């Protein structure tokens, strides 16, 4: 088999003699790749380049790398070293070589023939062959490494710019797509950067298990609002147990934490159903989480605005509703702030219009302790019952006292059918017998 002399260049696999011999298992190849491997092995075996080893200690699978023309790559680095060794005196002068790409160049036609003759003699001396199908002579431009080289410079090969050598046809569909792209480029962006010295609008919407918000700003005219940022979030397992107002505060704190780079340098108008700013900064006794929210929001200029706009709130509500496609509302283990009935009435025995309703609530803080109950007649008349207690008690006891004072007023009025509503899940479920009463003060 003709080839380069090993004195010029040789490709070796460096092995450490102290290493334990390894025999790899036969690796399966693709059928089309396997045929090319067998063809190459047969070619080298027939030329005497390969021989059979009956009891090998080292066995390694080959790693075939396909070329663009369908052949397999060989040791490219070793071949490049060989070309540099053979044409070191001609490179960058008469010949340019990059692996198997060779270009013979000259400024004059006479010199070009001389350089070709010199190249052929060098190839014949070291028994190298050229593929006639890939050889081109006497041209002023050609392909090299995927580019077109000419006297004008280097250009991209146009064949690479075409998809499967298909020029394509400009039809009506292409024109419509082109017009849409131009229209999009001429139209303003969906999200715009905020402008200094203009207030921001924050539309905030909170659901049972998620929240959504839209941060916007007026344009130059002051009549049209443009969106600056969209956000949505699914509440965690513990955040879902917050009350409605606490969820609103949590959503506001998370939004400020995410959009601090916008809200820190602008006055922000908060547009939402509830006022979390008042709850956080005017609450007399702060818990740990509310105190952290207060510290976080204290450095921002946020002003609460009553909900009048519809467009921004609708988008925020849409984001809160679709935080996840497969989202399902969580079942609260300890619901709070919801109105729940103590007893259930039979629709056949009593009419809904003849039922009395009672609402009770109790509160306890450092200043005073008070309880209240309101009786509502079927005609809509309200009869409040208010009391102030002079002894200390916790909020749960206050809720029980408020419920009892309302029931006492009901007995005095000889009301037989009553619907009771309260905002304490503990009192409601314990009175209904669904929860067990463990505290001796509540028995």
Q: How confident is the model at residue 368 (pLDDT cuts 50, 70, 90)?
A: low
What is the four-CA torsion angle of 191, 194, 200, 205, rounded to 10 degrees? Answer: 30
* pLDDT value at residue 5: 73
Q: How confident is the model at residue 215 (pLDDT cuts 50, 70, 90)?
A: very high
* pLDDT value at residue 162: 67
User: Rounded mean pLDDT of 76-83?
Assistant: 78
pLDDT digits (tens, 9 = 90+) for 16-58: 888 888 888 888 888 888 888 888 889 888 888 788 888 788 8
The answer to whether the beta carbons of residues 255 and 202 sit under 8 Å apart is yes
Q: Which two tokens stand for residue 220?
A: 């130059």
Which domains can be identified in the chain, with CATH numbers? 76-161 (3.30.70.270), 200-321 (3.30.420.10), 340-442 (3.30.420.10)
Q: Is the pLDDT of residue 346 over 90?
A: no
Q: Is the pLDDT of residue 325 over 50?
A: no
Say if strands 200-206 and 153-156 run parallel, antiparallel, or are unpaired.
unpaired
Helix (H, G, I), strand (E, B) or coil at 325: coil
> Count of CB atoms within 10 A of residue 299's CB?
10
In angstroms, rounded to a whole number, what is the distance separating the alpha carbons of residues 14 and 31? 31
Q: Is the pLDDT of residue 300 over 50?
A: yes
* pLDDT value at residue 200: 92
The answer to whether the beta carbons of residues 233 and 339 sit under 8 Å apart is no
* pLDDT value at residue 284: 60
Q: How confident is the model at residue 176 (pLDDT cuts 50, 70, 90)?
A: very high
Q: How confident is the model at residue 428 (pLDDT cuts 50, 70, 90)?
A: confident
Which of 75-84, 139-148, 287-296, 427-436 bottoms out in mean pLDDT, i.e. has the lowest? 427-436
User: Rounded mean pLDDT of 256-270?
Assistant: 89
**Is the pTM higher than 0.75?**
no
The answer to whether the beta carbons of residues 69 and 104 sit under 8 Å apart is no
């Amino acid at each position: 088999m003709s080839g380069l002399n090993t004195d010029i260049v040789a490709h070796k696999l460096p092995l450490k003699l102290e290493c334990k011999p390894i025999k790899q298992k036969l690796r399966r190849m693709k059928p089309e790749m396997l045929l090319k491997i067998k063809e190459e092995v047969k070619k080298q075996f027939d030329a005497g380049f390969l021989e059979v080893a009956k009891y090998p200690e080292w066995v390694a699978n080959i790693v075939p790398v396909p070329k663009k023309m369908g052949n397999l790559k060989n040791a490219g680095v070793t071949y490049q070293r060989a070309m540099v060794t053979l044409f070191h005196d001609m490179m960058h002068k008469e010949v340019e070589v990059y692996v198997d790409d060779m270009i013979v160049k000259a400024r004059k036609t006479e010199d070009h023939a001389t350089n070709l003759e010199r190249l052929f003699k060098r190839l014949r001396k070291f028994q190298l062959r050229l593929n006639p199908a890939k050889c081109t002579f006497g041209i002023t431009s050609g392909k090299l490494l995927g580019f077109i080289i000419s006297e004008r410079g280097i250009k991209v090969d146009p064949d690479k710019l075409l998809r499967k050598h298909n020029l394509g046809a400009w039809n009506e569909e292409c024109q419509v797509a082109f017009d849409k792209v131009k229209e999009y480029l001429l139209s303003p962006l969906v999200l715009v950067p905020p402008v200094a010295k203009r207030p921001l609008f924050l539309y905030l919407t909170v659901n049972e298990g998620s929240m959504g918000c839209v941060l916007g700003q007026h344009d130059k005219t002051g009549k049209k609002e443009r969106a600056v940022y969209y956000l949505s979030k699914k509440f965690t397992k513990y955040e879902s147990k917050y009350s409605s107002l606490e969820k609103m505060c949590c959503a506001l704190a998370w939004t400020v934490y995410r959009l601090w780079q916008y809200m820190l340098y602008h006055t922000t108008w908060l547009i939402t159903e509830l006022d979390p700013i008042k709850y956080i900064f005017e609450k007399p006794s702060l818990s740990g989480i509310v105190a952290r929210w207060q510290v976080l929001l204290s450095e921002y200029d946020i002003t609460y605005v009553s909900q009048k706009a519809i467009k921004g709130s609708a988008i925020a509500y849409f984001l809160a509703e679709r935080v996840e496609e497969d989202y399902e509302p969580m079942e609260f283990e300890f619901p709070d702030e919801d109105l729940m009935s103590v007893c259930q009435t039979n629709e056949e025995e009593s009419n809904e219009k003849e039922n009395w309703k009672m609402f009770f609530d109790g509160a306890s803080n450092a200043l005073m302790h008070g309880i209240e109950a309101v009786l509502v007649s079927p005609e809509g008349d309200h009869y409040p019952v208010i009391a102030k207690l002079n002894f200390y008690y916790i909020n749960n006891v206050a809720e029980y006292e408020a419920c009892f004072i309302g029931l006492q007023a009901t007995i005095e009025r000889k009301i037989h059918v009553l619907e009771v509503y309260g905002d304490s899940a503990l009192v409601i479920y314990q009175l209904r017998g669904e929860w067990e009463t463990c505290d001796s003060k509540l028995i």
